[in-house]
Structure 1
Amino acid sequence: MKIKKRYVTVVAGIGLLGVLLWWAGIRETLTLLFSADLNYLGIAFLMYCLSVLVWAVRWRIFLEKANIKVPFIRILGGIFVGIFVNNLTPGARTGGEPVKAFYITRGMGKNESYPRVLATVMADRILDVIPVMAFMVVALLYALKLRENILVAVLAFSSLLIMLILAITLIFSLKERYALVIIMKIVGIFKRIFPKKLGDGEIVEAKVRSAIREFKETLLGIANKRKDVIIPLLWSFLLWSLDILRTYFVFLSIGWRVSLVKVLLVKMASMAMAMISIVPGGIGVSEVVQSALFLVVGIEKSVAVSAILLDRLISFWFPTLIGGILLIKERV
């Protein structure tokens, strides 16, 4: 039933894309898409590739702090695999994080512990909140300057939602009993389905407790080395800056010069919609929301829609394809 619902939401999202094209003007939009400057589009693609490399470098720092040795190419693969799963997951899209950890652990054989690798994934994700909130403040100040109440409200909502998700993540990462309750409930569901595979409940609970403790110790070990967090934080700011530059160059490719601060504003404001979307990967929803927000800051609708479609081709469909190929190859 859940799979059928997912298909329904995806179809609905594709339907939204069709409506968006009709609203923006199919002819005008297609003309802009097919006349895009390949040089600027190539730079936009380069910005995305660099952002993935920066992400991999940042994650490798956390892995090394946890004494986990992983080939760089494997880390890159883990990122694409995580993106693929996240793009199939509605809402906050956190499904890819456990899969990334599993991908890395599997590549290292039985020598590496899954809880330790997962702790580095969570540390990597938690660190992202700092540059995001910094850029949120800049976007909010600009929205106040423009006196756009809708944008101010959306940005405020996005900020609150991000902080709420961070708080929940930290609670379940650091409070063993809460994490144990949730995991054991999940184990209970699987035990009813596969009673013979999971074995004795007390043994399973003991293993889960040990894994949670190892995860917590690794995460705290990374967090306590404050000096070692500064460099990954700088990489985080660079990563988000490259994300903004990518969209900026996409606009240049269709002959429209837009200020970086407007791109920043729309990127930050659209986050909340992406996190609460019931459509996997926000297909259709993300395009509609971002197009509407660019319209608010003075971008023509056909230009906004064309730019968003090209941007999503680079940042959504390309990595999703790569991640899917890697998963098939890995047979996860």
Structure 2
Amino acid sequence: MNVKKHLTIIVGIGIIIVLLWWAGIRDSIGLMLQANLKYLALAVLMYCIAILSWSIRWGVFLRGANIRTSFIKVIEGVFVGIFLNNLTPGARTGGEAIKALYIAKSSNGTYPKVFATVMADRILDIIPVAMLMLIAFIYSVVHGIKVLVWVLLLSLILLMLVVIITVVFSVKENYAMSLIMGIFRIFRRIFPSRLSNYEEKMESKIKGGIREFKSTLIGISKRKRDVVFSTLWSFVLWLSDVLRTYFIFLSLGSRVSLLQVLLVKMASMALAMISVIPGGIGISETIQSALFLAVGVEKTVAVSATVLDRIISFWAPTFIGGVLVLKRKDVLRLDKLSPK
């Protein structure tokens, strides 16, 4: 990890400290320490359900592509992807390539085939997000919440751009090649001692697997039953995400509505996508706190709930994913990825 990345993470943590100071550090910490454990446990349960839903959805695509691996490995792959995504600024796409590599080494699937399932999983994720975002946008317009109207409009625009870019890069061979090699070069800068000698070999492997990637992706799209089943799990994932934050507010004694939580979750998504700090550290906390203030939540409660939410949904899974990466250091050894 280079000095610049260290500095951005330090800046992000500094922003969190300033945010807590603004809300009242003693009051915020006191409120978090007094959180109702029953509701806090429900929030953790919602996060676990989200992870399981994500793993089941991805597992459907893996089985559809005739890739055989254990469900535990799929869950591990999700956490590895989360860990590496959280090291990536902006839209956080860096972990997608590596979690595909993780499963390719733990199954009978080739890297291009597994990566196609990752892309299908990412594309499908857009359906529930777009619907929930549209609901939040309509509500904001009807009730005249101008700040959220503009932020949600930005979110919808960015989401559409993500859809277009993802589809284009999935069907255009030269664009897909540039994307994958770009992601590789990001990780070469993060792990120069491990990856600096493998760029040529990686490029050769990807070129040879582009056709397999496309054919797998097309095959997945034709399995209508799998697509419908996975879409249902996508809704479970995102509703669990909203409920997690809702239960955190309840644990702090705040009677915020589910709709308020939905509004903020959808609105904060766009701004987190354009964050220059890895994982949106500090930025996400600040944005969500500000948006909760905009819907009428008291500042100490807004900041405390947001920080608690990030501990459960960002810091804990990042730690778990990091442990898995350390445990399976070979996941970053591209030279060990043999064709099957």
* TM-score (structure 1 length as normaliser): 0.92
SS at match of 2:105: helix
Q: 1:150 to 1:80 in 2, by over 3 A?
A: same
Q: 1:299 aligns with which of 289, 297, 300?
A: 297
Bigger mean CA offset, 139-148 vs 53-62: 139-148
Aligned to 1:116: 113
% identical equivalent positions? 56
Q: Aligned-pair RMSD on alpha carbons?
A: 2.2
Asked if 1 retains the 8 angstrom alpha-carbon contact of 2:254 and 2:301, the reply is yes
Taking the TM superposition and a 5 Å limit, the aligned residue runs for 1:312-331 are 312-331=310-329
State the Cα distance separating 1:227 from its structure 2 match.
3.0
1:129 aligns with 2:112: no
Q: 1:161 aligns with which of 158, 163, 177?
A: 158
Q: Deviations over 1:1-27 (max 9, x none)?
A: x82111111111111111101111112
Aligned to 1:310: 308
Q: 1:187 to 1:278 in 2, by over 3 A?
A: closer
Q: Deviations over 1:24-63 (max 9, x none)?
A: 1112111211110111101100110111111111111000
One-letter code of the match for 2:81?
A: G
Q: 1:243 aligns with which of 241, 250, 262?
A: 241
One-letter code of the match for 1:232?
A: S
One-letter code of the match for 2:30?
A: T
Q: 1:197 to 1:258 in 2, by over 3 A?
A: closer
One-letter code of the match for 1:41?
A: L
1:234 aligns with 2:232: yes
State the Cα distance separating 1:256 from its structure 2 match.
0.5
Q: Deviations over 1:158-189 (max 9, x none)?
A: 11111112211111110113224555788999
Q: Deviations over 1:39-93 (max 9, x none)?
A: 1101100110111111111111000000001100000000011000011110000
Q: 1:220 to 1:302 in 2, by over 3 A?
A: same
SS at match of 2:320: helix
Q: 1:149 to 1:62 in 2, by over 3 A?
A: same
Asked if 1 retains the 8 angstrom alpha-carbon contact of 2:58 and 2:117, the reply is yes
State the Cα distance separating 1:210 from its structure 2 match.
2.6
- The total of aligned residue pairs comes to 324
**Quick one: distance in 1 between partners of 2:316 and 2:114?**
26
Q: Deviations over 1:197-221 (max 9, x none)?
A: 677x9xx876433311111110111
Taking the TM superposition and a 5 Å limit, the aligned residue runs for 1:1-332 are 3-108=2-107, 111-181=108-178, 207-331=205-329, 332=331
**Quick one: distance in 2 between partners of 1:205 and 1:90?**
24
**Quick one: distance in 1 between partners of 2:288 and 2:30?**
20
Unaligned runs of 5+ in 2: 332-340
SS at match of 2:2: helix
SS at match of 1:128: helix
**Quick one: distance in 2 between partners of 1:50 and 1:269?**
23
**Quick one: distance in 1 between partners of 2:156 and 2:265?**
12
SS at match of 1:163: helix
Q: 1:255 to 1:205 in 2, by over 3 A?
A: closer
Asked if 1 retains the 8 angstrom alpha-carbon contact of 2:97 and 2:183, the reply is no
**Quick one: distance in 2 between partners of 1:298 and 1:266?**
11
Unaligned runs of 5+ in 1: none
